[in-house]
Amino acid sequence: MQYSSSVDLGVSKEHVLPYVSDLSQYLLWMPLIHGVEPLGEGVWKVELRAKVGVFARSKQLTMVRTTQTDDRLVFERQEDDGRTHAPWTMEVALADTPHGCTVTIHLTYGGNLWTAGVLDKILAHQVDLGKKSLAELVAHSL
């Protein structure tokens, strides 16, 4: 599964960077993120959770920030239990605009937990809700 979504924000990318470079900050604006535990510099244990009616699906991942520049962040799943796991990658791209910046989130998932038809739509919906929350958060933090 691959999903990309963008949001235009009326603030500079330097203002947005603290909210997107630290996965602990995603608890403030991304409803898909149910829990985050920092494990070290640029490493987090993340719990993803989404509801489908009365049912909830959750997944725990160890995510590592593998790239960080002024305009691009990449987080990749890296488990240390010796087992093979489905890949998860999230890339966050920040681009200057005349009125602020655009944030684009690219999600790539190589497993089948979230891609059972309905679940991939719910995952996309959660990301879209997160975009709106991020816009509100950065607008109110000025």
pTM score, two decimals? 0.90
* pLDDT number for residue 38: 98
Going by their DSSP bridges, the two strands 43-52 and 55-68 should be labelled as antiparallel
CB 60 within 8 A of CB 46: yes
For residue 31, pLDDT over 90 is answered with: yes
Question: Is the pLDDT reported for residue 115 higher than 70?
Answer: no
pLDDT over 80 at 142, yes or no: no
Q: What is the pLDDT of residue 12?
A: 96
Give the phi and the psi of residue 52 in degrees, each rounded to 5: -125, 95
Average pLDDT score, the chain:
90
d(CA 10, CA 22): 21
Q: Is the pLDDT of residue 26 over 80?
A: yes
Domains identified in the chain and CATH numbers: 2-140 (3.30.530.20)
Say yes or no to pLDDT of 74 above 90. Answer: yes
- Give CA 127 to chain center in angstroms: 7
**The pLDDT of residue 71 is above 80:** yes
pLDDT at 116 over 70: no
